[in-house]
Every structure is written in C-alpha cells, then in structure tokens.
Structure 1
Amino acid sequence: MASRLEHSHNPDDIASRLASGPRASYLRDWIYGGIDGAVTTFAIVAGSIGANLSAKVILILGMANLLADGFSMAVANYSGSKSENEDYARLRAIEEKHIALAPDGEREEVRQIFRAKGFQGDDLETIVRLVSSNKTTWIDTMMQAEYGMTAVAHTPLKAALFTFASFVLFGAIPLVPFLRAFPASAATATLLTALAFFMIGSLRARWSQRHWVSCGLETTVVGMLAASIAFVTGYGLQALLGS
C-alpha cells in the first residue's frame, strides 16, 4: 500500500475537489497525434532518402507534411469529438423523453440495472426510489448504464489543439538531422524517431501504474514497427518506380 495519499480527505478539500467536477482527459489525443506525427514524417524521410533527394527537399516535404497532415488530423479530431458530444446530447434527450412518457418503464430499467449489480429486496427498491427522485441523477444513471457514456465531454477545440501540437512537436524530430545536413542522416533520423516514441511512452507513464521505462519501451516497439513499415514501403516504391 502506498504510504502517501494522492489527495486530501479533509471535508473542505473534498468539497472543493468535487465542486470543480471531473475533468476530461486529452491523453489519447496527445499520444495519437505524437505517434502519427513521428510515423508519417519518418515515412517522408524514408521515401525521400530512397529517391536520393537533397536535405533541403526533405525538409520542405517534411514541413509540408507536418502542417498539412497535422491540420488534417486536428480537424478530424475536432469533428469526431463534436460528433460524440452531439450523440451524447441526442441520447440524453431520448432518455429525458422516455422518463416523461414512460416513467414506470424507466424505473424498471433502473431496477434491473442495480439488480444486476447485486442489490435485492428493500435495498434495491430504496435505490430505485432515490435515483428516480432526481431527474438529473436518473438520466445520468441511464446514460452510464445503457450507453456507457458520462457527462464528462471533450472540448472539440482542445482535442484538436492537443492533437496538432503533439503531431508537430514529435513529427519534427525525424527532420532534425537534415537541418544541418548531418552525416549519416538516415541513421540519425531513425535513432531520433525511436527517441521520439520513447519520449511519448515515458510521458504516458505519468497516467499509468507502470514504470516509465516499460511504457517508453512498449511505445518505442509499437512505433518503430509502424515506422519500419513506412521505411520499407518508401524504399520499396522508390526501387520499383526507379527501375
């Protein structure tokens, strides 16, 4: 058991923490953007090296990819997050209508939900009565139990910005060797790409119970597998088209 608690259990501290409500996590958006940014930029680098393009051209292609593909991902994430929020609002409106038109049926749904959790007899009926006595709590319960959805929603703009920022930040790393035309730029780009994946994974450990090295290595292996596919594809197409 950990010797230090993650937060205070003083009544005032609890009230303050709960009053602020749960916060949406943008960890997935950050990791998704970072991995995709590193992989797609590395694919540009691999294909360009295979075509014997200059460092200047590789930089131009890489930067164009960072901005265009990063923006595309951000827009897609914005639209996806907004669609999820709209779907939540639609389903919540349905539950609100059902409670107004068929309250007994909705109470029976609550009854069966909590019966499945192990409650019986008077305890079960007390829960049904308490849940259905507050409309907001009633709808929240149905949203969670029926659809697996909670009121904690992503802000579409924040989700898009996290994705874009991570894409550009980590996607720029494979381009670093070409800024000064480093010798062995291909090998250096590969090493830096692996480092980018390790950084993403080790940062992810902040929200995991696993050690940061374990998280970093896992993400590196997965990311380099994707990067290897990009590398082989790039070289293979250049060899095929150049023959």
Structure 2
Amino acid sequence: MKGSKPKQSKSQSGLIREGIFGFNDGLVATIGLVSGEALSHQPHTAIVIAGLSAVGAAVVSMAVGSFLATSSENDFMRREIQEQAQAIDRHPHRERHHVLRLLDEIGVPDEHNHEVAKSIIATRPRWLKFMVRENLGIHQNRAEAPLKNSLVMGSSVLIGSAPPILPYLFSLPLVTARDVSWSLSIIAALGLGMVKGVLTRTPLLKSALSFGVLVSLSALVGALIGMGLGALGA
C-alpha cells in the first residue's frame, strides 16, 4: 500500500529496547555515582576508578541479564508451542472448537466459520501455526537472539556511561569537571529521549524531557548522598 511502512520485527524491537534501556541505565547509574563522589570531595583518580569499576560491573551484569532473560523467554515460547502441539494430538475435538471460537473472535462471518475452520485443520502444520498465533499470541519467526541482545545491552551501557565520566579524565578543576559531567549527561539524556521519540513516533519534546528529568534526579540524589557523606567525613 502506498505510503505504508514495513513493520519492525520483534527481534528489531528487542534490540531497540535493549539499546535504549542499556544506554539509559549506564547514564543514570553513572551520573549518580560520580556526582556523589565529586561532592564528597574525592580526587579525580578516585572518581574515575569508582566510575569505571561500576561501569565494568554494570556492563557484565546487564549483558548477562539480557542474555538470560531472552533465553528464558525463547525457552518459554518453545514450551508453549510444544504443549499446544500436544493438545492438538491428544484433544483434537476440543481444539477444533477452539478454532471456531478464535475465528468468531477475530470477526469471521458465521456463514464462513466452519468452512474456514475446516481449511485450517486440514493439515496439522497449518492448524498448529494458527493456534500458536491466535491462541497463544506467539510468532515463531520473531524470536529474539540472546547473544545479539546481550551485546547490544552491554555496548549501550558502556556508551551511556561515557558522558558522566569523561570530564574527570582531564586535568580540570573538580567543580568544572562536575559541571561539565552534568551538562554532558543531560545533553545525552535529551538526545536519547529524542531518539526514542523518533523510533516510537511520540512527541519529541515530551520524550526528551522525560529522559532529562530522570538523569537530573539521579544526579541530584547522588549529589545529596555525596554531600552528606562528605559532611560526615569532615
């Protein structure tokens, strides 16, 4: 159809989800940490070491978590399909009634219901495919790749962690490095929000501001903790 756009597959949507989630997690967690370190008057070296240590742990943790979550989802999907296949083999009469019910739910006219159902159950692969899609809501060709998801997640966490830490790698006064870190982080958050807005076709300003507010709150919490710890250690 003219003017229509191809739909994204579930695997593509999964990669976008992992990318946005990973970038945001790396950015939010790191800006909170380095803000706390900076406002507790730690030297540059300590801030960088703490930041990089946290980033390394986050990259591994989030990548492994993404891999396990995707693998578990795929395993669950395969089990559901297997159970549906067994249901067709063991209770064909009941499953035929399910086909009729599903056809009625999706709006097939009553006068064509039995004819369409007969065509569906004529072959077992077609019957199983119909039940898997309409009864379980599963599309077998849209399974996500665990390794690819984990690589995107880990890379995104690493990239998202860069803006808060980068200023502390240079010989800047602590206050200047802190302010630049905050500025870069907020710019990165606004940019991520706009990218998300473009991908999801939601208002860009609203999307950008929501990410910006999240990062600002994280920086504020980290700053308050750092100030409190600094005061206790004074």
Q: TM-score range by the shorter chain?
A: 0.7 to 0.9
Match of residue 154 from structure 2: 164
Residue 143 (structure 1) aligned with residue 132 (structure 2) = yes
Q: Which residue of 2 aligns with 1:82?
A: 71
Alpha-carbon displacement from aligned partner over 1:60-83 (angstroms, at most 9, x marks no partner): 111111111111110011001000
Task: Measure, in 1, the Cα distance between the counterparts of 2:36 and 2:185.
Answer: 15
SS in 1 for 2:29: helix
Q: Which residue of 2 aligns with 1:209?
A: 201
Q: What SS does the aligned partner of 1:192 have?
A: helix
Q: Which residue of 1 aligns with 2:48?
A: 59
RMSD after superposition:
2.5
The answer to whether the 8 A contact 2:104-2:110 is kept is: no
Is the counterpart of residue 242 in structure 1 residue 213 in structure 2? no
Report SS of the residue matched to 1:52: coil
Within the alignment, does 1:189 sit opposite 2:181 as a pair?
yes
Q: TM-score, structure 2 length as denominator?
A: 0.86
Of 54-63 and 74-83, deviating more is 54-63
Question: Which of structures 1 and 2 has the larger relative contact order (alpha carbons within 8 angstroms, sep 6+)?
Answer: 2
Runs of at least 5 residues in structure 1 that lack an aligned partner in the other structure: 8-16
2:81 pairs with 1:68? no
Aligned partners of 1:207 and 1:137: how far apart in 2?
A: 34
Would you say how many aligned residue pairs link Structure 1 and Structure 2? 228
SS of equivalent residue, structure 2 residue 53: helix
Q: CA deviation at 1:145?
A: 3.3
Residue 174 (structure 1) aligned with residue 164 (structure 2): yes
CA shift, 1:37, in A, is: 0.2
Q: 1:185-226: CA deviations, max 9, x gaps? A: 222211111112112122223422235444322322234334
Structure 2 spans left out of the alignment, 5+ residues: none
- Partners of 1:168 and 1:177 in 2: CA distance: 16
Name 1:154's counterpart in structure 2.
Answer: 144
Per-residue Cα deviation, 1:61-115 (whole angstroms, up to 9, x for no partner): 1111111111111001100100000001111100011111111211211211221
Q: Percent identity?
A: 23
Q: Which residue of 2 aligns with 1:225?
A: 217
Letter of the structure 2 residue corresponding to residue 73 of structure 1 = M
- Distance in structure 2 (CA, Å) of the matches to 1:197 and 1:144: 37
Using structure 1 for the length normalisation, give the TM-score. 0.83
**Between 61-70 and 176-185, the greater mean CA deviation after superposition:** 176-185
Counterpart residue type for residue 217 of structure 2: L
What CA distance in whole angstroms lies between the structure 1 residues aligned with 2:215 and 2:126?
42
CA distance in 2, matches of 1:137, 1:224: 53
Q: Determine if contact 1:43/1:227 at 8 Å carries over to the other structure.
A: yes
